[in-house]
Homo-oligomer: A and B are copies of this chain.
Amino acid sequence: MPTLVVCAAPVAGMPGCRAELVDPDAPIATATDAGLTRGDGVFETVGVHDGRMHDLEPHLERLAQSASMLDLPAPDLGAMRDAIALAVRSLLESLPATPPTALAKVVYTRGPEHGPQAGRPTGYVYADVFPDVTRQRTEGVAVVTLTRGYPHAIGAKAPWLLVGAKTLSYAVNMAAERHVKALGLDDAILTSTDGYVLEAPRATVLVRLGDEIVTPAAEGGLLHGTAQRAAFESFTARGFACSYRDLTVAELEAADHVWLTDSVQLLRPIRELDGRMLVVDRGLTDGVNADLLAAG
């Protein structure tokens, strides 16, 4: 059973914000909430590993940045922090034992068009247990590249495309995931129309090229990964040179190893890419995942 915390008045500077635990199955958004009618809002998913939240502050910073890109009022990060803590604490207290993996999802919408809350953002957090991902983290995942339809640097020229904002308009990401499952695979790597690697629908791509670990530059048009930043620290400590830069599909195909990383599933090695088997470095992957679990 997930836990749900609703934030009344989740906007920075607006008085009266309080985080309140409510029934997770009770409806909370009205028919004209722009989050529901237009995917007009932002979110973050915070990983909770062995009962500890990871990278909370980078997630809150990215929530504020996404909100700014959508011209939303700045969220009250203090209230969000309290709401996340309350949701996670309540989830853990409701369980007989601490789960290895859980998550807290923060949602912040433009709010309803009508009614007493008209024009005021809706904010809430729900926390839940996540299924066991040991197999994906150790044996690896099968992945296919899919086009995202965009050239890789379009975001800078066309800010209305909201490239790099973590919006609630995730229908394309979910359709890409369904497409992949229908192929009997685990995940997708989205690529640009001009031959660059972007990201997975819900994860960041990392590749090893010799002694270098590369992740696509966020300026190229994607989300700046929170888990990826922690992974870079671990790889750096292991002697790799880590860099953000444009990464071509040709480089992806030539890489020694490829991983996906996100806040919940952490580092997943890719064992199959576009039908070709890749070598999984079990020792390196386990080591970085151990670092990620120890950090946070």
Chain B residues within 8 Å of A36, by CB: 29, 33, 35-36, 107, 109, 168
- In the complex, A214 has a CB within 8 A of chain B: no
Q: Check A171 against B70 for contact (C-beta < 8 Å).
A: yes
Binds B, one of A91-99, A150-158, A257-265: A150-158
Q: A250 an interface residue at 8 Å Cβ cutoff?
A: no
Most chain B CB inside 10 Å of its own CB: which residue of A1, A71, A151, A167:
A167
Identify A172's interface contact among B112, B114, B157, B169, CB under 8 A: B169
Contact A114–B27 (Cβ < 8 Å): no
Chain B residue numbers with a CB within 8 Å of A159 are: 175, 179
What are the residues of chain B within 8 A of A235 when measuring CB–CB? none
> In this assembly, does A28 line the interface, its C-beta being within 8 Å of a C-beta of chain B?
yes
Shortest Cβ distance from residue A234 to the other chain B in the assembled complex, whole angstroms: 30
Copies held by the complex? 2
A124 and B31: CB pair below 8 A? yes
Chain A stretch 26-50: residues in CB contact (< 8 A) with chain B: 26-41, 43
Interface residues of A in 163-201 (CB under 8 A from B): 163, 165, 167-176, 178-179, 193
A115 pairs with B25, CB closer than 8 A: yes
Cβ B147 vs Cβ A176 within 8 A: no
Contact partner, A162, options B32, B105, B167, B172, Cβ 8 Å: B172
Q: Across the interface, do B178 and A171 meet the contact criterion of CB distance under 8 Å?
A: no
Q: Does A146 contact B (CB under 8 A)?
A: yes
Which residue of the partner chain B has the closest CB to A180?
A: B160
Contacts of A30 in B (CB 8 A): 24-28
Q: In the docked arrangement, what's the CA distance between A107 and B29, Å?
A: 13
> Interface centre among A37, A38, A171, by most B CB within 10 Å?
A171
The answer to whether the Cβ of A275 comes within 8 Å of any Cβ in the partner chain is: no
Chain A residues 124-165 with CB under 8 Å of chain B are 124, 126, 128, 146-151, 154, 157-163, 165
Given contacts A31-B126, A32-B126, A114-B25, contact A172 B161 (CB under 8 A): yes
Cβ of A4 under 8 Å from chain B:
yes
Q: How far is the CB of A198 from chain B (nearest CB, A)?
A: 12
Complex contact B146–A158 (CB within 8 A): yes
A175 touches B161 (CB 8 A): yes
With most chain B CB atoms within 10 A of its CB, the pick from A114, A116, A159 is A114
Nearest B-chain residue to A157, judged by Cβ: B147
Q: A146-B160, A159-B179, A160-B175 are in contact. List 9 more A-B contacts (CB 8 A).
A: A25-B114, A31-B124, A37-B105, A149-B150, A149-B154, A162-B171, A162-B172, A167-B171, A169-B170
Interface CB pairs A-B, < 8 A, 18:
A2-B31, A4-B31, A29-B29, A32-B126, A35-B36, A37-B107, A38-B168, A38-B174, A39-B168, A40-B170, A40-B171, A114-B128, A146-B160, A148-B161, A149-B150, A160-B179, A161-B175, A162-B175
